[in-house]
Amino acid sequence: MPMITGQIEVNLTVSDPRRSALWYSDLLGMRPRYEFDGPDGTLTYVSLVDPLSGLILCLVGHASNNGEPFSESRNGLDHLEFLVNDRDALTQWVDRLDQLGIPHSGIKQPPHTSNAMLTFRDPDNIQLEFFWRSNERMVPSPARRHKDVPTR
């Protein structure tokens, strides 16, 4: 089977790519890679990169976009998680979101795990999370394991 690198380039459809690019740049310190405007005016594309991690985020605007806010209850993307190295980083992100006036959930810990998260939304209502994964490993119940996926 061919391998993948494990790196990911995220492409999000947004109502205003340039506005969203400024928002993500202010929040995450991302830098512009390039912009593209389709010659027929139906597509706008702004690509950003995080200089430290190499994460590439592309914000795509379609002329046919009716501006309806994002909803994770429809097929497609549920949310986007940015993993952090330690739980203390979540507190630093709370401070950063507060500094930028971005509403957020505060740090939450689900009852079924020791992981922790901080949830917020972008200008198009896309749910985003800063997420810290503890060293604890969750093992799916036998009924939920895929028969072709080995467990360790």
Average pLDDT over residues 44-58: 95
Q: What is the pLDDT of residues 83-131, one digit of tens each?
A: 999 999 999 999 999 999 999 999 999 888 899 999 999 999 999 999 9
* Residue from 125, 101, 133, 110 nearest 14 by CA: 125
User: Among residues 39, 41, 11, which one has the least CA distance to residue 24?
Assistant: 11
**Upper half-sphere CA count for residue 57 (Cβ side, 13 Å):** 25
Per-residue pLDDT, 137: 61
Whether 56 and 84 map to the same domain: the answer is no
pLDDT for residue 138: 53
Q: Are residues 82 and 125 in the same domain?
A: yes
**CA distance linking residue 102 with residue 81, whole number of Å:** 16
Which DSSP helix (H) or strand (E) runs through 97?
A: helix 87-100
Contact 28, 120 (CB under 8 A): no
Which pLDDT score, from 0 to 100, does residue 4 have? 79
Percentage of the chain exceeding pLDDT 70: 89
Mean pLDDT confidence for 28-41: 95
Domain assignment present for residue 151? The answer is: no
Residues 31, 47 contacting (CB under 8 angstroms) = no
Cβ-based neighbours of 123, under 8 Å, separated by 6 or more: 14, 15, 16, 19, 20, 23
Q: Which CATH number is 114's domain given?
A: 3.10.180.10
What is the average pLDDT across 71-91?
A: 92
145 found inside a domain = no
pLDDT for res 54: 93
Average pLDDT, the chain: 89
